Copies of this chain bind each other. A is one copy, B any other.
């Protein structure tokens, strides 16, 4: 046996370890996707054993290479890799694949399983997160590396399939990655020609290599995905690009789905169903694999183990880091704070200062403008804050004087994402997952529809990502019903672990920003007006209550009714209250900028703000369904139909969202009660 033969045989055994773990686990669960793990096993073997820089004993090591399985249904491939290389994922967890409370759920979940970098399953989004991670690396490297001191220097690797490439978000993310020249992003396309409906020829005729070349990617076409030497050479080519002109790399790997399954390989049957005991037995025979299920040969297990290598790699980096820290202590302090995700005291002070002293913030301004005033004050104090907009910077007012546009400088703290709402949201998730960034990005509220599943993913992954949604209602006026959100507030509020803030003036906007920045455990949506809004004066205690999501803004002794409103409709509630007082009715006005936060408060607070006995009228220029659960037998004033194109003030009257309607509702309720 010559050396080349020996290597081939050995490589097959290492890759086969992945194949059999995947096949056995799916068989045991009687549920799952063996096809992708078996098809990509050879690629995974080469990448993970020869290239990936990681430390299984410390999955949080900052400079590790990131690995993203964008085709997340192939989760068993990732679990097998993590298990074999020595992460805290014992064989018992593999046997518990897809069972309750295991660390091996159906799709990979970040935070649950050590070594999983992002939660994947909804196709195209893992790839997009990876673009965010590669961007994060590039930005941090530009900011913190110095000649001879390369402390940020890692790759981001992605596995992806036909599904990811068909999804629109792949276009958004990859087009932007090419424009930004993210040279350390290396993607492996599992080109197996099969998707769930069968041979992709009928619905996916793209010349993917040409498509990515059009995005300014480094495309390595026609690689045999079962030939380790070819895969290895492609990775070296990707890594050997001159840094200054480096482009993201797509390695197009021709593979067989379910490679190794004697009769089912190459067919869509192997995509998402167990192989069956007969097929697995036949595969054991065909691949010369005389081991029982879940059993692996000791030498293969030894070869896979990356714990020692990983520790050595991290130690070498740590030495570099220590030298860098000694030489650049200010940088080190800042980076440490960024990676910890802490909010500097200076930023909170800047915010307090603004609340106490800014006349601009307390003027009759749109809350989108108030948001910009806040950003002006805090951006210099928060180096990890990373802004942007989906081509609406001047409308969202997300751009401030201290914003440096990455697009034009190659480094900075602001990105014009282009007209790519979903891509922006997915890239922001990647920035947050990477660490070192608190991303925020703007678009119109109505286009939260486009980015919605990425907001959901941020909530599921418990990532601090801030969405700035302006033009938040019919109050945007003439752009008409395509641009006027109606149901969007409700639809965002029902996403678990999401927070929706709809402030009514500058003070509430500042507090909303503060809360969003301090909320580490999930995303926040700041929903802001296009039009100017009347500011309110608050006692110091009241200002502090804003953070509770709902509080008493105005109160009469022995109030007979509570008006509850959010955002631009708080002004309507206050006007209505004034009229009602003239009619001798005592009124409480509750501002509720964040319903979810209010409902997370103790019952005592909720009852204090909304006494159970008092009738309630809610006012919000959007779906009333959501509010019906809160007003009980009271009245929810809102809009359950589409808007119209006209100046805003006319629309409010036309749709009956005005002080008069609120007064009428109160009179009707009080008469009913008497």
Asked whether, in the complex, the Cβ of A197 is within 8 Å of the Cβ of B393, the reply is: yes
Mark each residue of chain A from 162 to 173: 1 if its CB lies under 8 Å from any CB of chain B, else 0: 111011111110
- Residue A391 contacts which of B197, B213, B495 (CB distance < 8 angstroms)? B197
- Residue A206 contacts which of B178, B204, B205, B623 (CB distance < 8 angstroms)? B178
Asked whether, in the complex, the Cβ of B168 is within 8 Å of the Cβ of A168, the reply is: yes
CA distance A195 to B395 in the complex (A): 13
Number of copies: 2
Residue of B nearest to A209 (CB): B214
Asked whether, in the complex, the Cβ of A107 is within 8 Å of the Cβ of B166, the reply is: no
CA distance A412 to B453 in the complex (A): 32
CA distance A208 to B418 in the complex (A): 15
A667 at the interface (CB under 8 A from B): no
A122 at the interface (CB under 8 A from B): yes
CA distance A308 to B255 in the complex (A): 60
A628 at the interface (CB under 8 A from B): yes
Max chain B C-beta neighbours (<10 A), residue from A169, A209, A625, A626: A625
Asked whether, in the complex, the Cβ of B195 is within 8 Å of the Cβ of A391, the reply is: yes
Residue of B nearest to A416 (CB): B197
Asked whether, in the complex, the Cβ of B482 is within 8 Å of the Cβ of A645, the reply is: no
Q: Which of A600-653 contact B (CB under 8 A)?
A: 623, 625-630, 632-633, 640-642, 644-647, 650-651
Q: How far is the CB of A45 from chain B (nearest CB, A)?
A: 26
A314 at the interface (CB under 8 A from B): no
A490 at the interface (CB under 8 A from B): yes
Given A163-B391, A407-B203, A480 and B109 contact (CB-CB distance below 8 Å)? yes
We find that the number of chain A residues with CB closer than 8 angstroms to chain B is 114
Q: Which of A347-406 contact B (CB under 8 A)?
A: 389, 391-395, 405
A291 at the interface (CB under 8 A from B): no
Asked whether, in the complex, the Cβ of B487 is within 8 Å of the Cβ of A460, the reply is: no
Asked whether, in the complex, the Cβ of A32 is within 8 Å of the Cβ of B106, the reply is: no
Chain B residues whose C-beta falls within 8 Å of the C-beta of A490 in the assembled complex: 490-491, 494, 625
Could you say which of A316-324, A331-339, A419-427, A431-439 contacts chain B? A419-427
Chain B residues whose C-beta falls within 8 Å of the C-beta of A395 in the assembled complex: 196
Q: How far is the CB of A195 from chain B (nearest CB, A)?
A: 5
Residue of B nearest to A98 (CB): B478
Asked whether, in the complex, the Cβ of A167 is within 8 Å of the Cβ of B122, the reply is: no
Residue of B nearest to A485 (CB): B456
Q: How far is the CB of A561 from chain B (nearest CB, A)?
A: 19
CA distance A626 to B479 in the complex (A): 29
A313 at the interface (CB under 8 A from B): no
Asked whether, in the complex, the Cβ of A196 is within 8 Å of the Cβ of B393, the reply is: yes
Asked whether, in the complex, the Cβ of B487 is within 8 Å of the Cβ of A494, the reply is: yes
Residue of B nearest to A175 (CB): B206
Q: How far is the CB of A167 from chain B (nearest CB, A)?
A: 6
Asked whether, in the complex, the Cβ of A169 is within 8 Å of the Cβ of B166, the reply is: no
Asked whether, in the complex, the Cβ of B482 is within 8 Å of the Cβ of A119, the reply is: yes
Given A105-B644, A162-B419, A422-B168, A481 and B460 contact (CB-CB distance below 8 Å)? yes
A531 at the interface (CB under 8 A from B): no
- Residue A477 contacts which of B31, B418, B625, B641 (CB distance < 8 angstroms)? B31
A215 at the interface (CB under 8 A from B): yes
Asked whether, in the complex, the Cβ of B202 is within 8 Å of the Cβ of A206, the reply is: no
A87 at the interface (CB under 8 A from B): no
CA distance A56 to B482 in the complex (A): 26
Asked whether, in the complex, the Cβ of B167 is within 8 Å of the Cβ of A419, the reply is: yes
A305 at the interface (CB under 8 A from B): no
A483 at the interface (CB under 8 A from B): yes
Asked whether, in the complex, the Cβ of A497 is within 8 Å of the Cβ of B215, the reply is: no
Residue of B nearest to A168 (CB): B168
CA distance A456 to B450 in the complex (A): 11
CA distance A204 to B654 in the complex (A): 41
- Residue A480 contacts which of B106, B123, B394 (CB distance < 8 angstroms)? B106
- Residue A175 contacts which of B31, B202, B204, B626 (CB distance < 8 angstroms)? B204
A8 at the interface (CB under 8 A from B): no
Given A179-B203, A479-B107, A645-B105, A420 and B100 contact (CB-CB distance below 8 Å)? no
Asked whether, in the complex, the Cβ of B478 is within 8 Å of the Cβ of A29, the reply is: yes
Asked whether, in the complex, the Cβ of B453 is within 8 Å of the Cβ of A107, the reply is: no
Asked whether, in the complex, the Cβ of A210 is within 8 Å of the Cβ of B204, the reply is: no
Asked whether, in the complex, the Cβ of A106 is within 8 Å of the Cβ of B645, the reply is: yes
Asked whether, in the complex, the Cβ of A168 is within 8 Å of the Cβ of B203, the reply is: no
- Residue A107 contacts which of B101, B172, B483 (CB distance < 8 angstroms)? B483
Asked whether, in the complex, the Cβ of B31 is within 8 Å of the Cβ of A417, the reply is: no
Q: How far is the CB of A495 from chain B (nearest CB, A)?
A: 5
Q: Which of A57-93 contact B (CB under 8 A)?
A: 72
A493 at the interface (CB under 8 A from B): yes
| A residues adjacent to B (C-beta < 8 A) | 29, 31-32, 72, 98-102, 105-107, 109, 119-124, 162-164, 166-172, 175-176, 178-179, 195-198, 200, 202-211, 213-216, 389, 391-395, 405, 407-408, 415-420, 422-423, 446-447, 449-450, 452-453, 456-457, 459-460, 477-483, 486-487, 490-491, 493-497, 623, 625-630, 632-633, 640-642, 644-647, 650-651, 654
The 10 closest A-B pairs by CB, nearest first: A168-B168, A628-B629, A202-B407, A121-B482, A105-B645, A171-B171, A100-B646, A179-B205, A449-B453, A210-B214
- Ordered by A's residue number, 26 sampled pairs between the chains whose C-beta atoms are within 8 Å are A29-B478, A100-B650, A101-B646, A105-B645, A107-B483, A120-B482, A121-B480, A166-B419, A167-B450, A179-B202, A179-B205, A197-B392, A203-B415, A203-B417, A207-B214, A208-B214, A211-B214, A211-B215, A460-B482, A460-B642, A490-B490, A490-B491, A490-B625, A497-B642, A625-B629, A632-B633
Instruction: Known pairs A29-B478, A168-B172, A210-B214; list 7 more (Cβ under 8 Å).
Output: A32-B478, A100-B644, A105-B481, A176-B203, A449-B456, A460-B642, A497-B641
